C-alpha cells in the first residue's frame, strides 16, 4: 500500500478532512484517496465532542457577525443540517432545541433590537423576546434577576447541538460505502514530513510512506507547521488559544449566548446543555493562550515553536495585539478563571449574566473539557487574522482554521473539492451536491 500512488492524500481525520473525504467519494470521479489520522480513532482533537461547544453556528445569534457573514455561515450550516437530518438515526449526533442570545442593560438591548430589524429578513424564524416570554422560554435566565434590569433576547427554536466527532465518523462510514472508489483510512499515522517528488507528494509517517498526486492538510493548528516546512505561509504565525469550560447541573432548555464584542475573535460566555448528557451544561469558553497545538498535549510545544518563531516581527505583533485595551482586559480576566478556589468565585459573575441564581459551589472546572483554537496572526501587518485561514499551494492546500469551525465543514469541503478535482481534471457533480445538501455559494 505504501508504494501506491493515490489521487488525494488527506492529513487529518477531524470533521474538516472527513467532510472532504465524503464529498470526493460520493460526488467526484476521484479514484483513490487515503486519509491519514495520527490517532487510533476519527476526530480525536478539535472535532471531539469534549473539545468544542457542540454548536452549529448559523450567524443568527452570533452578534459579532456582519449580515453578509451571517448569510454565508447560514448557507454553510444548512448543508450540515441537510446531512444530519438525512441520517436514519441521528441519536448521539444532534439535538434540535431552542437557542438565544441575551442582552443585558440598555446599551446591549438597544443594539440587539437594532440587530433584530436588520437580520429578520435573513432569519425569519428569529424572534425578539421580552421579559415575560423570556421567563417562559428559559425560566432559569429570569429567576432571581433584578426586576429593574433591562433584558431582551433574540431567540429561535431552530438551534442544533451536535457532536462533530459523530458527524466525522458518519462521513467516513458513508464515504467507504461508495462504489467505484478506493478509500484507505490509516490510523496511528502521524505524518512527519511532506516531500515533493517530481509532480507527486511523498508523505512520510512513522515507518510508513504514502505517495499522492495532490494533498490536503486538514490538521488544524498543525497545518501551518506543514505549510512552513513547505516554504509557504511564512507571513503567518499562530497564537494557540485554549477554550476551557466549567460544568454545572443543567438548568437550561437550550443554548444561551451573551452579546459578543466585535473586536474579540472568541465567543462570549454562553451556556450549553451537553449533546450527550442532558443533565449537564457547560459554561465557557475561558480563553487563554497556551504554547500547545493540542490541548493537554505537551509534546506539541515543539510544534508551537515552529509556527511561533522568536523574531522581531512576531514580538511586534504580540505587542500590537496587546496594545488594544479591550483585548488586554479580556486576557487579564480570563487568566484567573480556571484557577483553583478563586476561579469559580470570579467566573460566577460571568455565569450569573445567564443564570442569576448560580453559585460558585455549583461550578466544577471541566478538567477534561476544552480544546485549542489556532488564532492566526499576520506578522507582516502585526494583526490578528479573523475568520478562515487557508493556504493554497501547487496541488496542495492547508486548512488551518475554517471559520466558524466545524459549522462550515461541508462548505469548506466543497471549496477544497473544487480545487482538488480541478488539479486532477476530474468532474465534480455539483448538481447532485446541491440536490442533496442545498444551494451554497462558497468560492
What does 215-284 look like in DSSP terms, one character per residue? EEE--TTHHHHHHHHTT--TTEEEEEEEEEEEEEE---SSEEEEPPPTT-SSPPPEEEE-SS-TTEEEEE
Same-domain pairing of 241 and 293: yes
Q: Give CA angle at 413 (412, 417), nearest 5°.
A: 125
User: 98 in a domain, yes or no?
Assistant: no
Which of 369, 388, 407 marks a domain boundary?
388
Residue 437 domain flag: yes
- Within a domain: residue 226? yes
In three state form, how does the secondary structure of 358-414 look?
CCHHHCEECCCCCEEEEEEEECCCCEECCCCEEEECCCEEEEEECCCHHHHHHHHHH
Judge contact between 427 and 28, C-beta under 8 A: yes
Residue that has been written with the C-alpha cell 438548568 in this structure:
251
Whether cis (ω within 30° of 0) applies to the bond prior to 404 is yes
Q: Quick one: 243 and 349 in the same domain? A: yes
Query: How do beta strands 364-365 and 371-378 pair?
Result: unpaired
Q: Give the three-state DSSP class for 144.
A: coil
One domain for residues 46 and 170: yes
State whether 243 and 311 are in the same domain.
yes
Reference 63, options 124, 142, 153, 147; nearest CA is 153
Domain count, the chain: 2
Instruction: Give yes or no: residues 321 and 358 share one domain.
Output: yes
Same domain, 361 and 253: yes
In this structure, what are the phi and psi dihedrals at residue 280, rounded to the nearest 5 degrees? -120, 145
- CA–CA dist 198, 193 (Å, integer): 16
Task: Give the cell for residue 223.
Answer: 497545518
Residue 5 Cα distances to 21, 189, 192, 215, angstroms: 17, 17, 19, 12
Spell out, as residue ranges, where the chain has pLDDT lower than 50.
1-2, 443
List, in order, residues 6 or more apart from 29 with CB less than 8 Å away: 421, 426, 427
24 plus 170 within the same structural domain: yes
Are 205 and 295 in a shared domain?
Answer: no
Q: How far is the C-alpha of 199 from the C-alpha of 207, rounded, in Å?
A: 23
Global confidence as pTM: 0.94
CA distances (Å), 396 to each of 105, 176, 272, in order? 49, 23, 37
**pLDDT tens digit string along 218-263?**
999 999 999 999 999 999 998 888 899 999 999 999 999 999 877 7
Mark which of 388, 405, 433 sits at the end of a domain: 388
CATH of the domain at 208: 3.50.50.60
What span, in angstroms and rounded, lies between the C-alpha atoms of 114 and 410? Answer: 31
- Looking at the fold, whether 260 and 354 belong to one and the same domain comes out as yes
As a whole number of Å, the CA-based R_g of the chain is: 22
Q: Is residue 63 part of a domain?
A: no
Residues 309, 258 within the same domain = yes
Size (the chain), residues: 443
Q: Are residues 206 and 242 in the same domain?
A: no
Q: Is residue 59 part of a domain?
A: no
Contact 145, 356 (CB under 8 A): yes
277 inside domain: yes
What grid cell was written down for 325?
485595551
Q: Which domain holds residue 337?
A: 234-388
Pairing of strands 371-378, 236-249: antiparallel
Q: How far is the C-alpha of 6 from the C-alpha of 213, rounded, in Å?
A: 6
Amino acid at each position: 500500500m505504501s508504494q501506491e500512488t493515490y489521487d488525494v492524500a488527506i492529513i487529518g481525520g477531524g470533521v474538516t478532512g472527513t467532510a472532504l473525504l465524503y464529498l470526493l467519494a460520493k460526488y467526484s470521479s476521484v479514484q483513490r484517496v487515503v486519509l491519514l489520522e495520527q490517532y487510533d480513532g476519527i476526530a480525536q482533537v478539535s472535532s471531539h465532542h469534549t473539545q468544542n461547544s457542540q454548536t452549529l453556528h448559523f450567524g443568527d445569534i452570533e452578534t459579532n457577525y456582519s449580515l453578509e457573514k451571517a448569510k454565508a455561515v447560514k448557507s454553510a450550516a444548512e448543508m450540515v443540517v441537510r446531512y444530519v437530518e438525512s441520517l436514519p438515526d441521528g441519536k448521539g449526533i444532534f439535538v434540535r432545541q431552542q437557542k438565544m442570545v441575551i442582552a443585558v442593560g440598555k446599551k446591549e438591548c438597544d443594539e440587539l433590537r437594532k440587530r433584530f430589524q436588520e437580520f429578520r429578513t435573513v432569519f425569519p424564524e428569529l424572534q425578539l423576546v421580552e421579559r415575560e416570554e423570556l421567563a417562559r422560554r428559559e425560566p432559569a435566565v429570569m429567576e432571581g434577576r433584578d426586576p429593574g434590569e433591562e433584558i431582551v433576547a433574540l431567540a429561535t427554536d431552530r438551534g442544533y447541538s451536535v457532536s462533530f466527532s459523530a458527524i466525522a465518523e458518519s462521513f467516513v462510514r458513508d464515504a467507504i460505502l461508495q462504489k467505484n472508489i478506493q478509500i484507505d483510512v490509516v490510523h496511528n499515522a502521524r505524518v512527519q514530513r511532506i516531500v515533493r517528488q517530481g509532480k507527486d507528494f511523498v508523505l512520510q509517517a512513522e515507518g510508513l510512506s504514502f505517495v499522492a498526486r495532490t494533498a490536503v492538510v486538514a490538521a488544524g493548528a498543525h497545518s501551518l507547521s506543514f505549510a512552513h516546512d513547505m516554504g509557504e505561509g511564512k507571513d503567518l504565525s499562530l497564537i494557540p488559544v485554549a477554550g476551557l469550560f466549567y460544568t454545572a447541573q443543567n438548568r437550561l432548555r437550550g443554548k444561551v449566548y451573551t452579546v459578543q464584542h466585535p473586536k474579540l475573535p472568541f465567543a462570549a460566555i454562553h451556556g450549553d446543555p451537553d449533546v450527550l448528557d442532558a443533565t449537564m451544561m457547560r459554561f465557557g469558553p475561558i480563553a487563554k493562550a497556551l504554547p500547545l497545538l493540542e490541548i493537554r498535549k505537551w509534546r506539541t510545544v515543539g510544534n508551537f515553536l515552529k509556527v511561533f518563531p522568536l523574531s522581531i516581527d512576531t514580538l511586534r505583533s504580540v505587542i500590537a495585539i496587546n496594545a488594544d485595551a479591550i483585548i488586554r482586559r479580556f486576557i487579564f480576566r480570563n487568566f484567573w478563571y480556571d484557577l483553583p478556589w478563586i476561579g469559580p468565585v470570579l467566573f460566577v459573575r460571568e455565569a450569573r449574566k445567564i443564570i442569576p441564581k448560580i453559585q460558585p459551589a455549583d461550578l466544577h472546572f471541566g478538567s477534561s473539557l476544552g480544546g485549542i483554537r489556532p488564532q492566526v496572526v499576520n506578522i507582516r501587518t502585526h494583526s490578528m487574522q479573523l475568520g478562515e485561514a487557508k493556504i493554497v499551494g501547487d496541488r496542495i492546500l492547508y486548512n488551518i482554521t475554517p471559520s466558524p469551525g466545524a459549522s462550515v465543514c461541508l462548505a469548506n469541503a466543497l471549496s477544497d473539492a473544487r480545487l482538488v478535482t480541478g488539479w486532477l481534471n476530474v468532474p465534480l457533480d455539483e448538481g447532485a451536491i446541491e440536490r442533496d445538501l442545498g444551494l451554497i455559494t462558497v468560492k
